Amino acid sequence: MQLKESTPSSFPGAGDVLIASPELDDPHFAASIVYLISCDEEGAMGVILNRPVGKTLGHLLNSTSLPPFLQNLPLFYGGPVQADQFLLALFSRASEAEHRLCCCLEPTAEEIESRIQSDTGWLRALVGYAGWSAGQLEAECARGDWTWQPSDDALVRCGCNTHQWDLLHSGDERWQSLRPYFPKEWGRN
């Protein structure tokens, strides 16, 4: 997997991940990996994947009525927009043949249950999200604030790996050789 260069003819799209440049000094995005949920001429929306908050959804909601898998779902900082709100993101493979991800925001209980039980989806609880107005992300990419590449299910499955940004930013792809050693319940490698 080769990082795409920031050129006028290539631009990240929905389903890609943005990798912050080491020079990006915005504290909200420094050393971050952002999954792009949508990206078009009107703007872009995404969620930061590598910022665990150190709490669970059950702790945030202070509710014992949640099912155990939701009670214990780790909480992640998704971005600075509406950081006082939480959202659920259901990630799954775009197809059986590839590791690329697609994302459904605020899935229904039926979608969550179906995907989780069949081990074809990975739920993420997020506080806030990342957003860019029309032209803003293009300008940041042209300035060199971001590189990007297709998403990969291991980015979500590895969860709290704080070294993900180091690996992606440096172009180190050795982590992909670990796929055969991922837990069996992660399904198809």
Residue 85 has pLDDT above 80, yes or no: yes
Q: Please indicate whether residue 44 or residue 98 has the higher confidence score (pLDDT).
A: 44
Task: In whole angstroms, give the CA distance from residue 171 to residue 148.
Answer: 11
The angle subtended at Cα 100 by Cα 116 and Cα 47, nearest 5°, is 75
Give the residue from 17, 178, 58, 185 showing the smallest Cα distance to 116. 185
Query: Tokens 């590791």, residue?
Result: 99
Res 186: pLDDT: 45
Q: Two tokens at 4?
A: 């795409």
pLDDT in tens, 169-182: 787 777 666 666 66
Res 189: pLDDT: 34
Residue 103 φ then ψ, to 5°: -140, 135
Long-range contacts of the stretch 156-160 (C-beta < 8 A, 24+):
156/35, 156/49, 156/91, 156/101, 156/122, 156/124, 157/122, 157/182, 157/186, 159/52, 159/74, 160/50, 160/52, 160/74
Res 179: pLDDT: 65
pLDDT in tens, 15-41: 999 999 999 999 999 999 999 999 999
DSSP secondary structure string for all residues of 71-138 = HTPEEEE--SEEEEEEEEEEEEESSTT---EEEEES--HHHHHHHHHTT-EEEEEEEEEEEEETTHHH
Q: Please indicate whether residue 30 or residue 154 has the higher confidence score (pLDDT).
A: 30
Q: What pTM did the predictor assign?
A: 0.85
Residue 188 has pLDDT above 50, yes or no: no
Q: Two tokens at 185?
A: 């319940």
